[in-house]
Amino acid sequence: MNSMDLKRAEKLSFNLLLASAALAVVIFLVVSLTGDGWAKIAGFFMGFCVGGFLAVVPALYSGYILVKTNANSANLRSVLALSVVWFMTVCALYVF
């Protein structure tokens, strides 16, 4: 994999992580603006959980690229770490 392909993979994995975060914010806004009372708390929790479950996609992609190319990319490692931490936090919320 050449340098241009690696930069494209880094950008795609980061955009996937941003998309899951943006979806979490959209879910929070929709639930909190359409509900009343506890809707803001429920919207935050719902957005956090849906975004965390979708954070598996950038984690899998960046992990696959790191293993496939054996690249030493700090950006891919950062996306992998953030995605895995977010997903594990959501899993911990459901377990406890």
What are 81-94's pLDDT values in tens digits?
999 999 999 999 98
Q: Count Cβ atoms within 10 A of the Cβ of residue 69 and give its class: 0-12 exposed, 13-18 middle, 19 or more buried.
A: middle
Interhelix angle 56-69/74-95, nearest 10 degrees: 140
Interacting residues of 89 by C-beta distance below 8 A, sequence separation 6+: 52
Tokens 């996306």 belong to which residue? 79
CA separation, residue 63 to residues 41, 69, 71, 73 (Å):
33, 10, 11, 11
What pLDDT, on the 0 to 100 scale, is given for residue 35?
A: 85
Closest of 93, 12, 18 to residue 51, by C-alpha: 18
pTM of the model: 0.90
CB 90 within 8 A of CB 53: yes
What are 17-51's pLDDT values in tens digits?
999 999 999 999 999 999 888 899 999 999 999 99
